[in-house]
Structures are given as structure tokens and as C-alpha cells.
Structure 1
């Protein structure tokens, strides 16, 4: 019984705390029940459009396409000439120590070869800009030119990687 007087203040505090939970509030809160819109079935949106439609290129655009294609074709010829020179230079440098005359000549030939890739890359970038300007629906002429220049670029990229990979770096 000696413990009851010490527990009385704690019991009183506990009773007051419990009564606070029963107190009412004048504020109304929204219901957490599902709303009517949340009960509707979910459907995928239906698109009425079939996507962008390709239109033929106008005269100015067609001329620009032909100019980029011609530039890429001309650059391919120069690249092929430099490719033969680079292959000969790399073959001559095979087995030579790094920084020998043959190795330096091969490095220079590879640099010239890399430089000759520039016009094709530039033509492809210009054609890319034209494709973007059409909204993703390039004209048949533009699509054909882009695929041809892209093929030239990829072939040059592979050839350059092959030749450059044969020359050891110090």
C-alpha cells in the first residue's frame, strides 16, 4: 500500500492523456474512402494520328540533300586514297620501335586518314539536322541520302579503327 500514493500522480496524468484522445474537433477532414474517379476502369489512350507523314522535299532542300551526298561521295574517294597510304605506312612500321621514322610516318598517315573522315561526318550531321527539321518524317530522297552517307561513315569508321589498331602506341 505504500506504493499507491506514489502511483497516484502517474495514474492521474495517464487518465488525462487518455481523455484527450476522446476530445472532439470542429474541423472536418476529407474522407479517405475511394473517390468515384478512382473506381473508373483504366484504359489506354487511343491515338487518332498515324504518325508523321513524309512529304517530298522542296527544290531547295533537294539541292541541299544532293550537295551533302556529293560531298560525302567526294570525301569517300579521298579517304580511300589515304586509306591505301595509311595501310602501307602501318605495314612498313610493323616491328619497328615506337618513335622510329617508320612509326612516325605511320602516325602521320593515320592522322591524315582521320582528317579525311571529317567531310563525311559533317555531311551526315547536316542530313541529321534535315531529318530533325522534318519532324521525324523525312522525304524519300532525304532518307535515301541519309542511309547512304551513314553507310559511308560506318565503313570509314571500321576501316580507320582497323588501321589505327594495328599500329602499337608507346
Structure 2
């Protein structure tokens, strides 16, 4: 009889320690931020500002880099296509040669995605520096981004086609 009493005396403090604390849970009512629909565009007036010479020069530099990447890519495309056409089964010498040509082609186009990234960064810098972007800046940056993106997408399609042909 002494054992059950001793056992109850030892367990009673443990049971008390396991009880839930007396705090109130947070409210599940909607918060103000939840009332904003994230799919709606944020209305912001465009700032009328002339396109600065430095922005124009930087856009021209970035487009020149994208075009140089395109020229380097086109110079390497023929040999890569020939190597891909001659590629044998996976792990063969001709397959390895085609893979190396494809890697060289990827390296040759590196300037194009970098230029596209630089154009995007230019837009972000303009927004940050001026708390907005001017309509002329926006139009020039969008036109440059479209041109660089078109070059990049065409190159990506060529590489994807070669990858499919090689079977990598």
C-alpha cells in the first residue's frame, strides 16, 4: 500500500507540469494586409524625364555585348552542329567531341544572357535611384531587353535542338 501512495506523490508534480499554460491564442481574424489582392498592379504614375546620355550609352554597350555574344555563338554553331550530327552513342569519342563542342557553344553565348541581366539591372537601378522610372527610360530599356531576349531565346532553341540530337 505504501508503493501506490509514493507513486502518486511522485507523479502529481509531473502531471501539474504538463498542463497547458494559461495564454490566449492569436486572433484568426483577417489582418489588413490580407485584404490587398497581390494580383492587382500597383498604380504608380510614370515620371516624365528625359533619357540621359549615360543611360543611352549603357544601353548601347549592353546591346553591343549581346550582339557580340550572338556573333561568337553563330561562329561556333556550325562546328557544333557538325559534331552533333556525327555524334555516336553516349560515351563514345564522337559523342564526347559533340559534348565539348556544345560546351564551347554555351561559353560563346555567355555575353548574351549577361547583357540581358545588365539591362534588367539598369532598369532596377533607375527605379531605385529616382523612386521611379521615366517613360523614355522605360521605353528604351524595354526595347533593349526585347532585342537581347530575342537573341537569347534563339540561342537557347539552337542549344536545345543540339542537346536533343546528341541525346544529353
TM-score by length of 1: 0.64
Q: Indicate the RMSD between aligned Cα atoms, in angstroms.
A: 1.8
* Other-structure match for 1:120: 112
Query: Hey, what's the Cα distance between the residues in 1 that align with 2:56 and 2:167?
Result: 45
2:79 pairs with 1:85: yes
Figure out how many residues of one structure are paired with residues of the other and give that number: 119
- 1:152 deviates by 0.7
Q: Summarize the Cα distance change of 1:132–1:100 in structure 2 as closer, same or farther, 3 Å threshold.
A: same
Query: Hey, what's the Cα distance between the residues in 1 that align with 2:162 and 2:156?
Result: 10
* Other-structure match for 2:65: 71
Q: Give unmatched runs, 5+ long, in structure 1.
A: 1-48
- 1:54 deviates by 5.4
- 1:100 deviates by 1.8
Deviation string, structure 1 residues 19-70 (Cα, Å, up to 9, x no partner)? xxxxxxxxxxxxxxxxxxxxxxxxxxxxxx7522353321112111101101
- Does the residue aligned with 1:134 lie in a helix, a strand or coil? helix
Query: Hey, what's the Cα distance between the residues in 2 that align with 1:68 and 1:141?
Result: 12
Query: Hey, what's the Cα distance between the residues in 1 that align with 2:50 and 2:165?
Result: 45
The structure that has the greater radius of gyration is 1
